[in-house]
Amino acid sequence: MELVGALVPVNPASGAVAFAGGYVIGALPVAWLMVRRWRGIDLRDSGGTGSIDALRVAGPLLAFVSGLIELLKGGAVGIAAELIGGHSDWFTAAAIAGCVLGDAFPVGFRRGGRGLVPLVSGLLFALPLAGLLCALIALPVAAFTRMRGSFYDAAVVVAVPLGLMIGTFDWRSLAPGAAIVVTLVARSRLRRAAREKRSRAALDAPPNATIVDLAPTSTKPTTKRRL
């Protein structure tokens, strides 16, 4: 069905294109591109490609600008989808879901984020009612759990689809809501597994693991050769 004012027919096919376009924007390595362009430095050599790495390598100005662009990516995607889709909320939600996936699981240059920044900015700028409902459900649990553990995952599973469906009054928003849930929960569990792996490595390491020891000497008594 094509809405009045929509620049494209709003249907599942165009929704999939919006999702893919949101993914491309979400996966853009903004800090890497800016530092590469204006400083000639590859942030991957410093261990990361985010704004914190840009701060360490290129200074506060580029770090601030790249961080601001990262913050606004979801909002830009949401507003663009609203205009292109003629204010079809499920179409907008699909674009935001793609941006969340791109931020959390980018292909190429950078490590993934949590996916929360484009979700929050996208809902804030494009679907404020849905964003408010999601926040009312999820924020208390997120604050209590520090966005970790099964309770946080459960809050995401409930808050995002429910907030989108009620906030948009459209059951078609459940599909992008499910994509957002899968992305956030998968990223949360991967981060949890990485923390547990680091903790196990720290516990298994000997106290003097940072000291370079000499090779152990033999305990066998030495015998002198008689001339």
| 158-212 pLDDT tens trace | 889 999 999 999 999 999 999 999 999 998 888 778 777 877 777 776 665 544 4
Domain region containing 26: 12-202
**How many structural domains compose the chain?**
1
Nearest to 25 by CA among 114, 99, 101: 99
Distance CA 111, CA 29 (A): 9
- Global confidence as pTM: 0.80
Looking at the domain assignment, is residue 151 inside a domain? yes
Domain assignment of residue 118, yes or no? yes
Q: Is 180 part of a structural domain of the chain?
A: yes
Is 209 part of a structural domain of the chain?
A: no
133 to 123, 166, 168, 182: CA distances (angstroms) = 10, 8, 11, 19
What count of other Cβ atoms lies within 10 Å of the Cβ of residue 62? 19
Any domain includes 166: yes
pLDDT band at 109 (very low <50, low <70, confident <90, very high): low
Give tens-digit pLDDT for 58-68: 888 888 988 89
